[in-house]
Structure 1
Amino acid sequence: MRWALLLLALASAASSQDTCISSDDDPYVLFGTKTAYNFVNRQLSNRRPEDVPGLRWDTSSAGNFTGCLILHAKTQQCKYCCFTAGLASKMVVTIRADLAQGCQPAAIWLLNRHGAHNPEADELSELERLNNYKDNVLNNYRTPGFRTNHNPQMCAADLALLSGWSFNILNRTFAGDLTSAGYMQTQDLGREWRRRYPSLFTTNNHDYLFKFANEKRFTDSFRAFTEGLFGAQAESIVMPRDNDEKLVRPYKFCPTWIKEVNDTSQNSQRNIFESKREFAEMVTNVSLRLGFNYDIDRDIIQRMYQMCRYNKAWDITKKSPWCGAFSREDLRRFEYAEDLETYTKYGYQSDLSPKLGCTQVKDFVNFFRNHVKEDAPVQPRVSVQFAETPLLLMLLTALGARHDNVPLTGDNYHTTAVQSRQWSNSIMDPFNANIAAVLYRCNPNGNFGFKDRYQILFLQNAQTMKIDNCRDGLCEWSHVISKFGDLADKCNLDFCNSAPRLNSFVSLSLTLVAFCFRYVM
C-alpha cells in the first residue's frame, strides 16, 4: 500500500514532462561504443553480401539450399537466386550454367570486437554511487512544491522504472568480463558466419587460425565464437591459436603514439564541443529533469549516461532506467562527443592511425596472397582475430573507409555534413563489431564482368563496405594489391620507438636558441 501511494505521488508530481522513454516506441538506441550489435544493421544503408551480383554465400549445401543467385525483379528469371533441389531439372540446369560464371568463396579474414561486458574496475565504485543519486531524484519528486511545472520533468513511468533500479558492485575479479548477453551475441555471430559460409567454416581444425590477446575478455570471446560455430563439439576441437599481442594491440607497444596522441591530445575537440553554451544548457536541463535546482556535476551526468548505455547493451529488450534522464538530443550530443574522441585518437585526425592500422592490412593481404599464389585451397582458410575498439578503428582508417570530406570538430556539430557523418562509433564500432574480407575465386569475363580470377569482398558488421573504386564492397584482387599492397609491404612499427617527432624537435630547438642567446648575452 505504501509503495502504491509513493508511485501515485510521483505520478502527480510528474504530470508535465518532455521525455518519457517508457512509452517511446522508437527510443534512441545509438550509444557509441556501448551500442548493442542488434541495433546497428538496421541503421546501415549498404547492401548485404548476398545482394552483390555474381557472389554466393556458399556452394555447399546448407539445409535445402544448394546455391544462391539473384532473381531478376521484372522477368522473374533465375539468374542468381536461391534454389533448392526440388525445382524443375531444366531450371536447375539453367541456374548451374549461370553459377559457372559466378564466384565461390575461397578464404575469409575476420576481425571481431568483443561483446558487451561488465564495467571496468575503475568504474565500479563510481557507478555504485548512482544508488544515492537515484534516492535523491526520487526524494526531489516526493517533495511538495519543490518543482515548478514549466521545468522539464521525468514521467511517472520513468520514475517508477528508476525506483526499481540498483547497482550492486561486482567482485572486482569479474570487472570487464563479458556479460551473459555479450557471450550469447558472440555465439550468435559464430553461428551466422558458419551459416553464410559453411564450406569455409568446417569442422576441420586445420582450416582455422585464431589470434587474440591472452586476456579473459578475449579468451571468452574465442570460446563463445567457437561454441557458436560447432555447438557441443566445440570443446573436442582443438583450434590453432596465436596470442600475438603486438598484432592485436599494436598501440600498446607504441610509445610514440602513446605520448603524442593518447596522452597529449587531451581530447581537444571534445573539450571544445563540451565547452559550448548549448552543452551547458543540456547539463542544466538534465539537472532540472532529475529534480535539482542547481547544475549537478558533469562527471555525475556522464556516469548516468554510462549506466544508461550499459543497461541497454546488457538487455536490449528492457528500458534502461537512467536513459530517462536524457532527451533524444542529449543522447545525440553524448554520442558525438565520443565520436570526436575516437576521431582524434584512432581516426583521421592522427597520421599515426593508419601506420598502426597497417598491421592488420599486412595480415590480411599476406593471408590472401598465399591462396592466390597457390590458386588452390590452402590451409588455414579462416583467420579470426578478437580485439578492441582502437584496432578496428585504426584498420578502417588504414583502409580509407568511413572518411568524411569535412573533418569532425568541436565547432561544427550542427552542420549537415556532421549530422550525416560517416565516422560514427555507434555504426562502426558497437559491441561485437566486425570487419571481414572474403576472398572469392571467380571465372573472369563471364556474365558478371569480372576481370580478375580473384575478388575480395569487404564487409563491416555483415554489410558491404564502401571502398574506393570497388563495386558494392567487391574489389578486384589487382586493385586490392594496387591500393594496399605497398602499405602492407612497408608496414612496420619502427616509428613507435623513435623520439617524439615535431613537439620534441621544436622544444629542443627553442632550448638551444635560449641557451645560445643567454651565452651570447
Structure 2
Amino acid sequence: MNSYLFIGFFITLLYTYNEATLKTSDVRNYLGTRTPYRFRGNKNDSRIKFPHCKDSKIWMIIRHGTRLPRDTDIIKMNTTLKDLKYEILLNNKLGNGELTDEQIKNFEQWSTDINLEHERFLTLEGQDEMILLAERMQNRFPGAIKRKYNNATFLFRYTATQRAQQSARYFANGLFDKKDSQDVIFSPATKVDTVLRFYQHCDKWQKQVKKNPNTYTEQILFGVSDEMNKTLERVSNRLGLSSVLSLDKVILMYKTCGYETSWSKHLASPWCSVFDRASAEVLEYYHDLKHYWLDGYGHDLTYRQACVSINNMLEMFSNKEGPNATFLFAHSGTVLKILTHLGLFKPKDHLRGNAVMKERPWRTSHIDCFAANLAFVLYRCKDGDHVLTLHQERVIKLPMCGKELCPLKELRKKFKDTIYNCNFTDMCSLVRDEL
C-alpha cells in the first residue's frame, strides 16, 4: 500500500509544539503504551566501544512502530468523540468549562474519519521510527550490523500482521541502500510463532491468565475507586459538561490523545487538553495495572514462557554459523514478558488498585512505548565473549549480572533454568481436568 495514503488518515489538528520543552508536568509523558518512541529513544548514536573487544553479533526484538487504532476504537472515535466534541463546544459557548479560546478553536477544527479497513496499520510516523532506529543501531554496532546486505548474515522475522511486516521492511530500508533493501529476504510469517508471539499459543496462559477474570481485579477496583471518580469529575468540569463522563468515554479521550500525539512530530491533539498531569497519571496507572497483571509480574507463567525467546538469543550467540544480525518484529505483549523474564523494572510490591503507586519502575509510558525494543550485542573480547544489553537503545545492566558487559558463560549459568526448563509444550498444555 502506498505510504502516502496514510496522510488522509491523520487528524486535523492545530497547534504545534516543541518537544525539547517537554516537561514532567506535560500530560504527554503519561500516555502508556501509546507513547511516541521519539519521547523515549536514545538519539546518541555514537559507536559503543569497549577496550580489546569488538561487536560481532546482535539479536534485537522490536515492538512494531506507531499504528492506527483497532477497529473498535476507530468506530468510537468516528462516532462517540465527534458527538462529544459538539457537546463540549456548546457548553463552552455558554460560558462553562476551563478551556482556553485557543483550545476551543482546536476542538472546532478537529475531525477524524479513519477507514476501518486500515485498523492497526503502521503509520507514516511508524515508518520513520523504524528507519531512524535502524540507522542509529548500525552506527553504534558497525561490526555486527554490516552496511552491505547478505542473506547469510542477516535474519529478519515478523509476526503475521501488517504493522509488524511493514516495521521490518522499513527497518531494512534504514540499514541498506535502495537496491540492497529491495533484495532483503524476510522469513515467512507463520500463524503459530512460539518465539515472537509465544503467549498466543500457550493454552494454559490463555485460560489461567488472559481469560481469567481475576487477572483484571486490581484494574477494576481502581476503575471504581475514589481517586478515579474524582478524576472523572475533574475532566468533566474542565470540559464544562453538566454530567460526569463515564470511565469508557474518558479512556477513549485518553487513548485518542496518545494516538494523535504519536502520529505526528509537529502537531498535538486537542484531546490532550482535556487532562491535567494528575488526571493523566491516574489513567496511566489504570492501564499499567492491566499490563502488570496480564504481561508482567502478576503470574509466574506469564514470564516463564518467554524463555523460548531468550533461548533463541542464546543459541544464536553460541553458534559459530548462522546470521550475525537477527531482527525480530513483534508486539507489546512480547516485549513486556521478555523484560519481566529478565527481572527488569520490577516493583518492590505488586501493583494494587487501592491507590496510584507513583514511584514505580513498571510504567509502560517508559518501558513499552511504540517501537519499544530490547537488544543483545555479542562482543568478542580477548578474555572471551561478552554480552551487552540495551533497552530503548540505552545500555542497561541485567539484574543477574550487574555489569554492562556480561560474560556469555556467566550469563548462560544465570539462565540455567531458562535453558534447561523450557519445554513449551509441557509448560503450556492444559491437563484434562483443565479443559
TM over 0.5: yes
* SS of match in other structure, 1:419: coil
Question: Does the CA-based 8 Å contact 1:311-1:320 persist in structure 2?
Answer: yes
Q: Give the corresponding residue for 2:250.
A: 301
1:379 and 2:342 matched:
no
1:467 and 2:412 matched:
no
Unaligned runs of 5+ in 1: 1-19, 51-55, 58-67, 70-100, 372-377, 445-452, 506-521
- Which range moved further: 112-121 or 201-210? 201-210
Q: Give the corresponding residue for 1:97.
A: none
What does the per-residue CA deviation read over 1:242-294, in whole Å, with 9 as the maximum and x for residues that have no partner?
53522211111122111111111351111122221121011011111111121
Q: Give the corresponding residue for 1:498.
A: 430
Q: What does residue range 92-491 of structure 1 map to in structure 2 within 5 Å?
A: 101-129=51-79, 130-143=81-94, 147=96, 153-170=98-115, 172-202=116-146, 203=148, 204-244=150-190, 245-264=193-212, 265-371=214-320, 378-413=321-356, 418-444=357-383, 453-491=384-422
CA distance in 2 between counterparts of 1:486 and 1:25 reads: 43
Bigger RCO (CA 8 Å, 6+ sep): 2
Q: Give the corresponding residue for 1:11.
A: none
Offset, 1:237:
2.1
Amino acid at match of 2:381: C
CA distance in 2 between counterparts of 1:498 and 1:266 reads: 18
Amino acid at match of 1:28: V
* SS of match in other structure, 1:247: coil
Q: Give the corresponding residue for 2:3.
A: none
* SS of match in other structure, 2:171: helix
Question: Does the CA-based 8 Å contact 1:21-1:323 persist in structure 2?
Answer: no
CA distance in 1 between counterparts of 2:253 and 2:245 reads: 11
Offset, 1:164:
1.2
Question: Does the CA-based 8 Å contact 2:203-2:428 persist in structure 1?
Answer: yes
* SS of match in other structure, 1:122: helix
CA distance in 1 between counterparts of 2:16 and 2:154 reads: 45
Offset, 1:471:
4.3
Question: Does the CA-based 8 Å contact 2:57-2:378 persist in structure 1?
Answer: yes
Q: Percent identity over the alignment?
A: 27
Question: Does the CA-based 8 Å contact 1:259-1:500 persist in structure 2?
Answer: no
Question: Does the CA-based 8 Å contact 1:115-1:178 persist in structure 2?
Answer: yes
Amino acid at match of 1:317: H
CA distance in 2 between counterparts of 1:25 and 1:190 reads: 25
Offset, 1:25:
6.0
CA distance in 2 between counterparts of 1:241 and 1:424 reads: 33
Q: What does residue range 70-89 of structure 1 map to in structure 2 within 5 Å?
A: none
- TM-score by structure 1 length? 0.74
Change (3 A) 1:355 1:268: same
CA distance in 2 between counterparts of 1:419 and 1:199 reads: 41
Offset, 1:104:
0.5
The size of the alignment, in residue pairs, is 409
Offset, 1:395:
0.5
CA distance in 2 between counterparts of 1:178 and 1:492 reads: 34
Change (3 A) 1:468 1:461: same
CA distance in 1 between counterparts of 2:167 and 2:319 reads: 27
Change (3 A) 1:266 1:361: closer
CA distance in 2 between counterparts of 1:133 and 1:110 reads: 42
Question: Does the CA-based 8 Å contact 2:58-2:324 persist in structure 1?
Answer: yes
Offset, 1:488:
2.1
Amino acid at match of 2:156: F
CA distance in 2 between counterparts of 1:500 and 1:102 reads: 56
Question: Does the CA-based 8 Å contact 2:54-2:381 persist in structure 1?
Answer: yes
Unaligned runs of 5+ in 2: 1-14
* SS of match in other structure, 1:349: coil
Amino acid at match of 1:37: Y
Question: Does the CA-based 8 Å contact 2:54-2:143 persist in structure 1?
Answer: no
Question: Does the CA-based 8 Å contact 1:200-1:207 persist in structure 2?
Answer: no
Change (3 A) 1:258 1:466: same
Change (3 A) 1:295 1:257: same
Amino acid at match of 1:498: L
CA distance in 2 between counterparts of 1:279 and 1:435 reads: 33
Change (3 A) 1:160 1:482: same
- Which range moved further: 185-194 or 243-252? 243-252
Amino acid at match of 1:499: V
What does the per-residue CA deviation read over 1:175-203, in whole Å, with 9 as the maximum and x for residues that have no partner?
11001111111111111111222222222
Offset, 1:238:
3.1
